[in-house]
Structure 1
Amino acid sequence: MSYQLMKLFYITLFILLLNGIIDHSVLSAQSLISFTKDDYQAASQNWSIGCAPTGYIYFGNSSGLLEFDGVSWQLYPSPNASIIRAVAVDNRRVYTGGYRELGFWERTQNSQLQYFSLTDSVKSQFGINEEFWSIFKSQEQIIFHSFAGIYIYENGSFTVLKNGGFFNFATLVDGTVFVAIHNDGIYRTENNQLIPVTNSDFLKEKHVRFIAKGHLPNTYYIGTESAGMYILNTTTDEFKPIANNLQSFFITNKINHGAVTAEGDLIIGTILDGVIGFSPTGKVKFQYNNKNGLQSNTVLGISFDQYNNMWLALDAGIEYISLTPGNNYRMYMEKEIGAIYSGALFNNQLYLGTNQGLYVKSWQDTDGSFKLVDGTQGQVWDCEIIDNHLFIGHNKGTFISSNEFSLLSDYSGAYNIKRHPRHPDVLLQGTYNDLIVYRETQNGWKMSNTISGFNNLTRFIEVDHLGNLWASHFYSGLYKIRLNDDFDNVESVIKYDKFEDGPEQLGHLNVFKIENQIVITTGHKLYTYDDLKNTIVPYNLLNDALGDFKAAKRIVPGLNHHYWFISEKGIAYFKIYANEVSRIKFYPKQLFENHLIPDHENIVQFNDTTAMVCLENGYMLLNLNGNNEGIDIASHEITLRQVTATNRKGKPFPLSIEDQSINLPHSLNNLILRYSFPLLNGETVKFQYKIPGLYDQWSALSNKPTIELSRIPSGTYTIEVKAVNNWLKSSKTHLLKLIVHPPWYQTTYAIAGYLLLMVGLMLGLKYITSRKIKLKEKRKREEKEKELIQLKNEKLSSELSYKSQKLASSAMSIIKKNEFLLSLKAKIKKHKEYLGNRYPDKYYQEVIDKIDDNISGQDDWQLFEANFEQAHEAFLKTMKKKHPELTPSDLRLCAYLRINLTSKDIAPLLGITVRGVENHRYRLRKKLGLTAEDNLTDYILNA
């Protein structure tokens, strides 16, 4: 409950009867609200009070400076950990004083108070135990009072007034500080000097505790601690006692503080018996002590706020007492006696019918407690005054009293009792099961009989102008009953389960009478009985005039053509006369703080000025002459007290509240707003807000004066906040402009960057697309070129293969030819050897030469060389270029090795033996510069 430290107690009304009786027919007493240390979270003991023009209230507390903004409390620890004895407030500062310490507090930008000490500039004047007990503001001066003297602070410096005496008491009267110096007299300050007011010996050994301007010219009220109250005439220097009837009270209970109200009444706070208010003639207006609501009997401080409400600083706790006249209601909490269903003001006694029994106390003895009436234990349903008799409808039966109570009937569950309009000596009553008849005899009212023919639970009954008895069942409908002339039997019964044009599901019906006209409530609208048509019809006159209260559940007659209507909206008081309907009072449901008894709401009017509302744990008295009805709130505006932004991790950042606008970076888009509403008049207030564009409807009413907003979207908003009292009246709406900047990625620069990036991306995309197209076209071209090359290569390969085949065929042809020639040559040689001279040498050599020419013929080589050049372009040229020492025979061998011919194949081509080929190969290796490890064929193939 960090934001709801204020505890609005149910308002209690007490007036002490001291030497006289106060008139209770009008609610003229005060409302009391108590604040405990659990409420304000500081020490119990409070020493002084300062009321600011803003409505804030400050208290000097044993733990520090207490601040109350009308809703919540805040404690500022004292600067030197000592008790703050004295408090005074001006428009800008809060001045405080304590043990060897004085200074002031100023508000910072985040609405917190910061302390500035004045001690160093004046502590040279302090005594050993200097302690400041009161502070006053007079024009431009701040006056601090200690028991040793007066310290006047003005224009940044101090003037100290001392005369060696004991400055027992100091106060401010009409802007002038008055000082009581023990056994020396009373002085006033003027031009920074002490001027005697009186040095009368009358004050010897008397401790003055109160000085105020008297009601007569040149007079002052003087209150002493233990010698009573007096009025001082400064012209004659005479002291005369006032309020003689209270002198013994003052002497016994010791005066500690005092004040004078705007009406001229005196308020005295005592050490032993609380606070008392009285007129100068001694007429007691009120007294509060710990017997009737005060937390402590020791009053240490008294002050009045700007609304003339009284605040008390007590030895234990703080009290608020509203002295504002014209209050509309007072609530009494009586939890011990149970839920209250009915009541009556009878013979100056207040009777309350509860679920525990009938309780009573004197109407005048507001200090007293309720007592149970013997024999009435149990549920009481109804209290009615008829012919100066009090009838009590009880679960056990019906009781009657003129002086003492007696049981009139023992028929259980006695509800509503009514006089028959045509027979004043007959009373009719509904119960759990029976209808009962009572008759007035010479010996008083007696039960006559029950009515035969109808046995049902009847909560409300009425008799119309035709003599029909109307009875509403608690659960199941409405009955019109015709009785015989002796009222002992039912002639006819008509149950109404449905009305002609009633769309509602009928069931929870109640019957009442307004201006002798039967009225039926349904919770939606009102109906009545049309005797001409003998039917039930909507009561359009009232439905049109009553507004929301046509949905009333119960109607209670008041006085002089006035009626109370109870609905889900609350309670309204109407005057209905001659077809004219006017609303006099309206009490919203919220006013009763959810204490009405569901389905048993009731109000009892005592007289022209006072009515009582029955509650679950007490009762409320309404002042019908009150004319406030919560309208004061409309002229006040709530105050923004504190603003805190938090980041995503919840780290708080207090913000300045000097301007009516807040600028938040997006990283701090969580906001906590705390408000105050220092209108203190005893009314409970709640809070609502809306933020058009974010939350367009007013929020639900909340007791907390705080608004917590999370993850607020970027944008500009107006936060509207108002206070609403129990009368559903609203204060002025507080407006706060809120600007939440977008995140960095939504700023103008970021958007410009995004645009540039998009343009860059588009250009890049265009470039990439164009490049891809070009690359694609290039790849297509390359693929086509590769295809062409491949085709060309395939063609060349084919041609090379063909040429190689042709070259191979040519070589093989030459080889075969040469082989043939070599074999032929060998045969011829054999023939020569065989024939000898028979084969002439001439012919033999001719044939051999011819064969040799064909074996190494130039034509064969040229043909081979031509085919070889086609298959192995520029091979021979390359070899000749690299190895110019190669002979044509070497080149021919290289060519044959190029086509991978073996030595055996090469021998016929060269016309030599295989061994000759090997020798040639050897010589070739040398010319090519090959080593033993090098392979000749591989070298030629890779050349």
Structure 2
Amino acid sequence: MKKVISLIFSGMLIAHIPQAQPAAPNEIQILGKPRIRHYDRGDFHGDTQFWTACEDSLGVLYFGNNDGTLIFDGTRWQNITFPNNSSTRSLHFAQNGTVYMGGFGQFGAVGKDAFGNYQFESLLDLLRQEDQNIENVWDICEYQGSVIFRTYNKLLALKNNQIRVIPTEHAYYSNVVNDQLLIADADGLKVLELSSINFSTLVTQEELDGSEISSILHGRNDHEMLITTKKGTLFSLSGHKLTHMFSLVGGQSEYQLITGIKSKNEIYYFGTLNDQIISLDKNLNLLESGKDYWALQDNTVLKLFETRKGNVWALLNNGLDLLNTSSASTILFEEASVFDVEINRNTLYMATNQGVFKSTVSENRKPLNMTHLLEGQAWSLQTFEGKVLCGHDRGLFEISETGITRIGNITGVWKIIKIAQQQNKYLVCTYDGLILMEYSDSEGFVLNQKIAGFNESGRDILQAEGEGVFWVCHGYKGIYRLKLDKSFTRVLALEHFREKGLPSPFNINVFKWQGKTVFTTNHGIFQFNESTDLFEAFAPLNQAFGQEKNVRKIIEAGNKTWFVLDDMLGYFEGDGSGGLQLDPFLELKGSFNRGLECIYPMHQSVLIGTTEGLFAYDLNALKQTENQTVLTKVTFRVGAEIKEAILNAAEPISLPNNVSDITFEYAVPGMSDPETVQFRYRLSQAWSEWDAQPVKQYEQLNPGKYTFEVGSRSLLGETGTIAKYAFRIMPVWYKTNWAYLAYACMGGLVLLSLRKLVKAKISREKTLTQQEEQEKRNLLELELERIKLASEKEKIELEKQMLEQDVVDKSKELTNYTMLLAKKRELITNIKEALKDLKESARTEANRMSIREIVRSINMHLNDEEYLKVFETNFERVHKDFFDELKANFPDLSPKELRLCALVRMNLTNKDIAPILNISIRGVETARYRLRKRLSIDHDENMASFLDKLADANQEG
């Protein structure tokens, strides 16, 4: 194999091949311009002038501009500012994982709270009061464990949360190169020994032609540094030896060259004032410069920054541009739809809808410089007999270094195929049949007659195993098998297969794979069985692709099989058991010319023609890199209030049961091309389809435990990890575990109660049955008892009537007795009064004494209460419990008042009562009046009636 030397430039590899030893086409490594993504104010919503940039461990990018620091996680832009709203002039991601930022009068760190919000934390208070008056912090670098903040007149060395102030004079540049802390000031370039704060001069300002340094970079070896000045001069510094190399820019302006970096693939990039970017290879050979190549959105490049992936950001005076130099995909041509590619003698030819283009690819450090050779629709480009033939809408053309020659006078040529086992004979496939073509050294390519007997399109044709047998697939009519005569002038036999085991006659193509003829359809891949005269499923490829996929193209190239599957390009190695490689080519999905897909495999790359142009993929760069997918914010709504959730909680967070609009925002910061990132997600269910939206909202979720998962990928083949977020929505109180436990306990109790009730019911039923039987047995006895009770009731009623009559009789007797008693006492009283009168008329003292004795005896008899006790006893016997009821209701009544109540109860008049109680009628009235008060009897109510009611109430009770 011939030796190939590849030159790397601006993300491209171009073959450097000596003309004396032309390389075979598959040995040439062709890669084009990197993709450039433009970001303007509409994207980042901030000031358009950018000064500095850095990248953290996740791949989140920080850009300093006049509005502060813009933070880009690959999906969203956020902004944080200094307390004094200063512009951000310097940024640095330190080894401790902290991003530091500096501006006018302020410097500090970028922090992040538990909810994912960025914030600035000032370090100004670490300085003494007299040192806090600082101007702009122009640079931040890290050296020997210290973070160095450079201002114009001092260095601030931060270590262990303490700051050491190092005075300087007019320090305008600082950097750490080759493990040296370099400071440039008005005297020149110096090395600072941080431990002793000792400055030693490396290069004087006079040695640098009096111009300020714009960049100091790692050189071509470990001992060399490259120094550029603002005038554009490049110097080499090895030890203390300074060598003037050359000028990178023309003109005499002092500010031609502004910034420079050395990339991971050893390309030097320099940003200029008005000519965009200049690039040099590792040997300092000029690669590319100027706006014609880079096509940035602004000519002034204020800063260049390389990410860990190897992409370069251009910080412009007006916007940001991302140079995707690490991508395996580069652009060769964008001006037409590409149908075929051919490389012959280090010249690349393209067949497009606008004609044929060519460009030299050997010994060329420039991107492809396309020359338009032939206009009109070109379909194919093929090399036969060392010559390039073009199938064209207008006919067949031969393309050589001297010009373009039309072959024959035909039109509508798809392509040419060589006839196997026939020297110098070819079939020209046209819109309406096949034409024999022969080649000779003397006459070149000559068209013979059209092959008779077949007038269909020959776009998709393949020679079969038999001599003179060809398969021709028509996009709509199915498959034809042709048998040509030995002179290839006519068709001897023609078979037309519309189905014969095929799913349909549409979209069938024919290819060779591992020596076998296979047919691709909308539903699997088939092979023709000669013995059964049927098409049968071809298991080896169906196992690789599946039988529900539409495979439109199959190309074998070494150990790889390239294919177009459902509008997606991919390849597999070997028999396909290792899986299909589709992800690196996702960006091309749907951009192919259907039925005329252009795939041109090479040794280390593959060229792919699409409706959008020609692209090159570096196969060595098709490595599956995995980036970290992160959740940037989780919010939810409770009522009318929107709240933020903690992102990195140790335990799943709990959300109230009335939560709604749970929103997840996510990103994958490390992707090479943020514009092609896609996401898929799931919430304890199947994965969603891939989507470019970096947010997912769930309006309502039922109470329970959930885990939200989101993955990512880019259309350039990069993948992202799965980010997870666990949370739970609390149930209402009556659906909590404690409530369910209570329900279970209550349910158990209910079951036990039901069991007892069932048992009790069974027992009751049994008892009722026994009772019914007993009732039946006792029914007669009960009836007899009823008769007996009825007899006894009649007897009792009779006795009751007798008792009631007895009470009436006794009551009459008592009344009569009482009346007699009253008469008797009245008589005795009258006798007493008469004796009193007689005493007055007695003449002797003895008579008067005798009368007095008689009166005294009468008084003693009247005051004797024995007869009253007898009266009360008889009264209680007649009116049972009357006194008990009276005493219960009126416990304060005296014995005399009780007697009066009994006499009134018997309806005796005052006149009748007076002698019984041995008082006057007036005294009875007074006693009755007092008794009324004691009994609380109304003035209009009869006392005897009141006492009757009281007696009746006692009897009812």
The answer as to whether partners of 1:183 and 1:205 remain within 8 angstroms in 2 is: no
Deviation per CA, 1:593-649: give whole Å up to 9, x if none.
434336335133253233222212123223344451x2x21xx43222211111344
Distance 1:315 1:756, change over 3 A: same
**Partner SS, residue 723 of structure 1:** strand
The answer as to whether partners of 1:569 and 1:589 remain within 8 angstroms in 2 is: no
Deviation per CA, 1:83-140: give whole Å up to 9, x if none.
2111123345432222333333321221112223344665976899932221223355
CA distance in 1, matches of 2:113, 2:130: 31
The answer as to whether partners of 1:290 and 1:297 remain within 8 angstroms in 2 is: no
Which residue is equivalent to 1:701? 690
Q: Choose 616-625 or 250-259, whichever is displaced more.
A: 250-259
CA distance in 2, matches of 1:19, 1:169: 42
CA distance in 1, matches of 2:252, 2:694: 42
The answer as to whether partners of 1:13 and 1:332 remain within 8 angstroms in 2 is: no
Q: How does 1:225-624 map to 2 (within 5 A)?
A: 225-226=230-231, 228-234=233-239, 237-242=240-245, 244=246, 254-262=256-264, 265-279=267-281, 281-284=283-286, 289=291, 291-322=293-324, 324=326, 328-331=328-331, 334=334, 336-337=335-336, 339-363=337-361, 364=364, 366-367=366-367, 370-374=370-374, 376-377=375-376, 379-403=377-401, 404-441=403-440, 442-465=442-465, 466-499=467-500, 501-502=501-502, 504-514=503-513, 517-530=516-529, 533=531, 535-538=533-536, 540=538, 542-543=540-541, 546-548=544-546, 553-559=551-557, 563-568=561-566, 570-573=568-571, 586-588=581-583, 591-597=586-592, 599-605=594-600, 607-624=602-619
Give yes or no for the alignment of 1:36 onto 2:36.
no
CA distance in 2, matches of 1:169, 1:340: 49
Give yes or no for the alignment of 1:653 onto 2:606.
no
Which residue is equivalent to 2:85? 81
Which residue is equivalent to 1:138? 143
Give yes or no for the alignment of 1:691 onto 2:694.
no
One-letter identity of the residue aligned with 1:616: T
Determine which of 126, 147, 155 is the counterpart of 2:152: 147
**Partner SS, residue 658 of structure 2:** helix
TM-score, normalised relative to structure 1:
0.70
The answer as to whether partners of 2:568 and 2:589 remain within 8 angstroms in 1 is: no
Deviation per CA, 1:561-588: give whole Å up to 9, x if none.
8653322273344677xxx777797334
CA distance in 1, matches of 2:482, 2:222: 75
The answer as to whether partners of 2:180 and 2:191 remain within 8 angstroms in 1 is: no
Determine which of 626, 651, 654 is the counterpart of 1:663: 654
Distance 1:658 1:575, change over 3 A: closer
The answer as to whether partners of 1:253 and 1:272 remain within 8 angstroms in 2 is: no
CA distance in 1, matches of 2:748, 2:498: 78
Identity %: 20
Distance 1:18 1:476, change over 3 A: closer
CA distance in 1, matches of 2:537, 2:739: 69
The answer as to whether partners of 1:277 and 1:284 remain within 8 angstroms in 2 is: yes
Give yes or no for the alignment of 1:95 onto 2:96.
no
Distance 1:544 1:390, change over 3 A: same
One-letter identity of the residue aligned with 1:508: N
**Partner SS, residue 166 of structure 1:** coil
For structure 2, the 5+ residue unaligned runs are 1-9, 751-906, 908-957
One-letter identity of the residue aligned with 2:451: I
Deviation per CA, 1:825-850: give whole Å up to 9, x if none.
xxxxxxxxxxxxxxxxxxxxxxxxxx
The answer as to whether partners of 1:352 and 1:360 remain within 8 angstroms in 2 is: yes
CA distance in 2, matches of 1:345, 1:582: 32
Distance 1:394 1:553, change over 3 A: farther
**Partner SS, residue 46 of structure 2:** coil
The answer as to whether partners of 1:14 and 1:292 remain within 8 angstroms in 2 is: no
CA RMSD of aligned residues (A): 4.3
Deviation of 1:226 (Å): 1.2
**Partner SS, residue 546 of structure 2:** helix
CA distance in 2, matches of 1:675, 1:168: 40
CA distance in 2, matches of 1:563, 1:753: 66
One-letter identity of the residue aligned with 2:316: L
Deviation of 1:239 (Å): 0.9
Q: Choose 359-368 or 704-713, whichever is displaced more.
A: 359-368
One-letter identity of the residue aligned with 1:103: G
Determine which of 676, 680, 688 is the counterpart of 2:667: 676
The answer as to whether partners of 2:32 and 2:331 remain within 8 angstroms in 1 is: no
Distance 1:595 1:161, change over 3 A: same
**Partner SS, residue 697 of structure 1:** coil
CA distance in 1, matches of 2:598, 2:109: 52
Deviation per CA, 1:482-516: give whole Å up to 9, x if none.
222332222221111222x43x1223222233455
CA distance in 1, matches of 2:745, 2:504: 69
CA distance in 2, matches of 1:124, 1:459: 83
Deviation of 1:13 (Å): 6.6
CA distance in 2, matches of 1:530, 1:759: 72
**Partner SS, residue 207 of structure 2:** helix
One-letter identity of the residue aligned with 1:705: P
One-letter identity of the residue aligned with 2:470: L
Deviation of 1:655 (Å): 2.0
**Partner SS, residue 58 of structure 2:** coil
Deviation of 1:66 (Å): 1.0
One-letter identity of the residue aligned with 2:647: I
CA distance in 2, matches of 1:549, 1:97: 60
CA distance in 1, matches of 2:601, 2:30: 12
**Partner SS, residue 686 of structure 2:** coil
Deviation of 1:217 (Å): 5.9
Deviation of 1:741 (Å): 0.6
**Partner SS, residue 666 of structure 1:** coil
The answer as to whether partners of 1:587 and 1:727 remain within 8 angstroms in 2 is: no
Q: How does 1:673-752 map to 2 (within 5 A)?
A: 673-682=664-673, 684-692=676-684, 696-726=685-715, 730-744=719-733, 746-747=735-736
**Partner SS, residue 191 of structure 1:** coil
Q: Choose 672-681 or 275-284, whichever is displaced more.
A: 275-284
**Partner SS, residue 39 of structure 1:** helix
One-letter identity of the residue aligned with 2:241: E
For structure 1, the 5+ residue unaligned runs are 1-11, 762-880, 882-943
Q: Choose 74-83 or 411-420, whichever is displaced more.
A: 74-83
Distance 1:124 1:213, change over 3 A: farther
The answer as to whether partners of 1:15 and 1:367 remain within 8 angstroms in 2 is: no
The answer as to whether partners of 1:32 and 1:319 remain within 8 angstroms in 2 is: no
Q: Choose 27-36 or 417-426, whichever is displaced more.
A: 27-36
Deviation per CA, 1:800-823: give whole Å up to 9, x if none.
xxxxxxxxxxxxxxxxxxxxxxxx
Q: Choose 512-521 or 40-49, whichever is displaced more.
A: 512-521
